Amino acid sequence: MKSKNKKSNKRKSSKRKISSVQIIALIAIGIALIFLAIQPNFSKRSANKDSKKLEIPFTKEGELSFISKQNNSTIKIIDIEIAEGLAETAQGLMYRYSMSDQQGMLFIMDIEKTQDFWMKETYISLDLIFVNSNMEIVRIHERAVPLSEQNIPSIKKAKYVVEVIGGFCEKFKIEEGDKISFERTR
Protein backbone atom coordinates (compact mmCIF):
# COMPACT_ATOMS: atom_id res chain seq x y z
CA MET A 1 0.00 0.00 0.00
CA LYS A 2 2.78 2.38 0.76
CA SER A 3 4.29 1.90 -2.63
CA LYS A 4 1.00 2.76 -4.36
CA ASN A 5 0.76 5.98 -2.34
CA LYS A 6 4.31 6.95 -3.24
CA LYS A 7 3.53 6.41 -6.92
CA SER A 8 0.35 8.35 -6.55
CA ASN A 9 2.19 11.20 -4.73
CA LYS A 10 4.86 11.24 -7.42
CA ARG A 11 2.21 11.58 -10.11
CA LYS A 12 0.57 14.44 -8.24
CA SER A 13 3.87 16.27 -7.68
CA SER A 14 4.91 15.85 -11.31
CA LYS A 15 1.51 17.21 -12.32
CA ARG A 16 2.10 20.16 -10.03
CA LYS A 17 5.55 20.76 -11.54
CA ILE A 18 4.10 20.70 -15.02
CA SER A 19 1.35 23.04 -13.94
CA SER A 20 3.90 25.44 -12.41
CA VAL A 21 6.02 25.35 -15.56
CA GLN A 22 2.93 25.96 -17.67
CA ILE A 23 1.91 28.91 -15.52
CA ILE A 24 5.37 30.45 -15.73
CA ALA A 25 5.34 29.95 -19.51
CA LEU A 26 1.91 31.57 -19.80
CA ILE A 27 3.07 34.53 -17.72
CA ALA A 28 6.18 34.91 -19.90
CA ILE A 29 4.07 34.76 -23.06
CA GLY A 30 1.66 37.31 -21.59
CA ILE A 31 4.50 39.71 -20.74
CA ALA A 32 5.96 39.25 -24.24
CA LEU A 33 2.58 40.02 -25.84
CA ILE A 34 2.15 43.13 -23.72
CA PHE A 35 5.66 44.28 -24.64
CA LEU A 36 4.99 43.68 -28.35
CA ALA A 37 1.71 45.58 -28.11
CA ILE A 38 3.31 48.70 -26.59
CA GLN A 39 6.68 48.45 -28.37
CA PRO A 40 5.65 50.17 -31.67
CA ASN A 41 4.31 53.17 -29.75
CA PHE A 42 7.43 53.25 -27.60
CA SER A 43 9.64 53.22 -30.71
CA LYS A 44 7.70 56.08 -32.29
CA ARG A 45 8.01 58.18 -29.14
CA SER A 46 11.73 57.43 -28.88
CA ALA A 47 12.32 58.27 -32.55
CA ASN A 48 10.46 61.57 -32.16
CA LYS A 49 12.43 62.47 -29.04
CA ASP A 50 15.74 61.53 -30.71
CA SER A 51 15.03 63.53 -33.87
CA LYS A 52 14.03 66.55 -31.82
CA LYS A 53 17.22 66.24 -29.76
CA LEU A 54 19.37 66.12 -32.88
CA GLU A 55 17.82 69.12 -34.63
CA ILE A 56 20.36 71.92 -34.86
CA PRO A 57 19.03 75.49 -34.81
CA PHE A 58 20.10 78.15 -37.34
CA THR A 59 22.71 80.59 -36.01
CA LYS A 60 23.21 83.78 -37.98
CA GLU A 61 26.92 84.50 -38.44
CA GLY A 62 26.79 86.82 -41.43
CA GLU A 63 25.01 88.03 -44.53
CA LEU A 64 25.53 86.92 -48.11
CA SER A 65 24.51 88.79 -51.27
CA PHE A 66 23.89 87.31 -54.69
CA ILE A 67 24.98 89.77 -57.39
CA SER A 68 23.77 89.74 -61.00
CA LYS A 69 26.33 89.13 -63.77
CA GLN A 70 24.21 91.39 -66.01
CA ASN A 71 24.41 94.69 -64.14
CA ASN A 72 26.10 94.04 -60.76
CA SER A 73 22.81 94.66 -58.93
CA THR A 74 21.94 92.74 -55.79
CA ILE A 75 19.53 89.91 -56.54
CA LYS A 76 18.96 88.65 -52.99
CA ILE A 77 20.50 88.96 -49.51
CA ILE A 78 20.30 86.07 -47.02
CA ASP A 79 21.44 85.37 -43.47
CA ILE A 80 24.18 82.75 -43.33
CA GLU A 81 25.82 80.33 -40.98
CA ILE A 82 29.48 79.86 -41.78
CA ALA A 83 31.13 76.44 -41.88
CA GLU A 84 34.92 76.38 -41.67
CA GLY A 85 37.29 73.57 -40.77
CA LEU A 86 36.74 69.83 -40.95
CA ALA A 87 34.14 69.42 -38.21
CA GLU A 88 31.86 72.25 -39.34
CA THR A 89 32.09 71.40 -43.03
CA ALA A 90 31.43 67.72 -42.31
CA GLN A 91 28.37 68.66 -40.20
CA GLY A 92 26.96 71.17 -42.69
CA LEU A 93 23.17 71.25 -42.64
CA MET A 94 22.75 67.76 -41.22
CA TYR A 95 19.87 67.31 -38.78
CA ARG A 96 17.98 70.35 -40.05
CA TYR A 97 14.32 69.80 -40.73
CA SER A 98 13.42 73.20 -42.12
CA MET A 99 15.03 76.33 -43.52
CA SER A 100 13.59 79.51 -45.00
CA ASP A 101 14.62 81.16 -48.25
CA GLN A 102 16.12 83.93 -46.10
CA GLN A 103 18.78 81.54 -44.73
CA GLY A 104 21.73 79.55 -46.00
CA MET A 105 25.09 78.09 -45.12
CA LEU A 106 28.42 79.27 -46.52
CA PHE A 107 31.23 76.72 -46.57
CA ILE A 108 34.69 78.25 -46.72
CA MET A 109 37.07 75.59 -47.97
CA ASP A 110 40.79 75.52 -47.16
CA ILE A 111 41.85 75.38 -50.79
CA GLU A 112 40.22 76.00 -54.13
CA LYS A 113 39.70 72.67 -55.85
CA THR A 114 36.89 70.51 -57.18
CA GLN A 115 34.57 69.94 -54.24
CA ASP A 116 32.36 66.93 -53.49
CA PHE A 117 29.27 67.11 -51.30
CA TRP A 118 26.46 64.72 -50.35
CA MET A 119 23.13 64.87 -48.52
CA LYS A 120 23.73 62.28 -45.79
CA GLU A 121 21.55 63.03 -42.73
CA THR A 122 20.26 66.17 -44.48
CA TYR A 123 16.47 66.11 -44.30
CA ILE A 124 15.62 69.04 -46.59
CA SER A 125 16.19 69.48 -50.32
CA LEU A 126 18.96 71.98 -51.06
CA ASP A 127 20.41 73.96 -53.94
CA LEU A 128 24.22 73.72 -53.81
CA ILE A 129 26.03 76.70 -55.29
CA PHE A 130 29.74 76.27 -56.01
CA VAL A 131 31.76 79.50 -56.09
CA ASN A 132 35.40 80.06 -57.12
CA SER A 133 37.96 82.30 -55.39
CA ASN A 134 36.87 85.24 -57.61
CA MET A 135 33.42 84.93 -55.93
CA GLU A 136 31.86 83.78 -59.22
CA ILE A 137 29.27 80.99 -59.25
CA VAL A 138 30.79 78.18 -61.33
CA ARG A 139 28.13 75.49 -60.82
CA ILE A 140 24.66 75.14 -59.37
CA HIS A 141 23.17 71.80 -58.39
CA GLU A 142 19.44 72.33 -57.80
CA ARG A 143 17.13 70.38 -55.53
CA ALA A 144 19.55 67.82 -54.14
CA VAL A 145 17.70 64.77 -52.85
CA PRO A 146 17.42 64.62 -49.04
CA LEU A 147 19.35 61.81 -47.29
CA SER A 148 21.11 60.77 -50.52
CA GLU A 149 24.70 59.61 -50.30
CA GLN A 150 25.22 60.22 -54.01
CA ASN A 151 28.22 62.42 -54.79
CA ILE A 152 27.47 66.01 -55.86
CA PRO A 153 30.65 67.36 -57.54
CA SER A 154 31.47 70.97 -58.31
CA ILE A 155 33.14 69.84 -61.57
CA LYS A 156 35.03 73.17 -61.64
CA LYS A 157 37.34 74.43 -58.90
CA ALA A 158 35.51 76.05 -55.99
CA LYS A 159 36.66 77.82 -52.83
CA TYR A 160 33.14 78.39 -51.43
CA VAL A 161 29.90 76.45 -51.41
CA VAL A 162 26.56 78.03 -50.54
CA GLU A 163 23.67 75.80 -49.52
CA VAL A 164 20.15 77.21 -49.69
CA ILE A 165 16.69 75.66 -49.63
CA GLY A 166 15.80 73.60 -52.72
CA GLY A 167 14.26 75.74 -55.47
CA PHE A 168 15.95 78.94 -54.26
CA CYS A 169 18.02 79.48 -57.42
CA GLU A 170 15.02 79.04 -59.69
CA LYS A 171 12.82 81.30 -57.53
CA PHE A 172 15.35 84.16 -57.40
CA LYS A 173 16.89 83.50 -60.83
CA ILE A 174 20.41 82.85 -59.51
CA GLU A 175 22.60 81.61 -62.39
CA GLU A 176 26.11 80.42 -63.08
CA GLY A 177 28.26 83.50 -63.72
CA ASP A 178 26.49 85.54 -61.02
CA LYS A 179 28.64 86.48 -58.04
CA ILE A 180 28.41 86.47 -54.28
CA SER A 181 29.77 88.67 -51.53
CA PHE A 182 29.49 88.12 -47.78
CA GLU A 183 30.33 89.71 -44.49
CA ARG A 184 30.53 88.24 -41.02
CA THR A 185 28.36 89.67 -38.29
CA ARG A 186 29.78 87.47 -35.50
Spatial contact of 74 and 67, defined as CB atoms under 8 Å apart: yes
Spatial contact of 59 and 96, defined as CB atoms under 8 Å apart: no
Between the alpha carbon of residue 177 and those of residues 65, 70, 138, the distances in Å are 14, 9, 6
**73-83 residue pLDDT tens:** 999 999 999 99
The whole-angstrom separation of Cα 132 and Cα 134 is 5
What are the start-end ranges of the H helices in the chain? 2-54, 85-91, 168-172
Enumerate residues 6+ apart whose C-beta is below 8 A from 140. Answer: 127, 128, 129, 130, 169, 174, 175, 176
pLDDT at position 178 over 70: yes
In the predicted model, what is the mean pLDDT of the chain?
85
Enumerate residues 6+ apart whose C-beta is below 8 A from 173. Answer: 75
Which stretch of 27-36, 119-128, 149-158 has the lowest confidence by average pLDDT?
A: 27-36
Higher pLDDT, 177 or 15: 177
pLDDT at position 71 over 70: yes
Q: State the average pLDDT over residues 127-153.
A: 97
Q: State the average pLDDT over residues 97-119.
A: 97
6-28 burial, b if ≥16 CB within 10 A, otherwise e?
eeeeeeeeeeeeeeeeeeeeeee
pTM of the model: 0.71
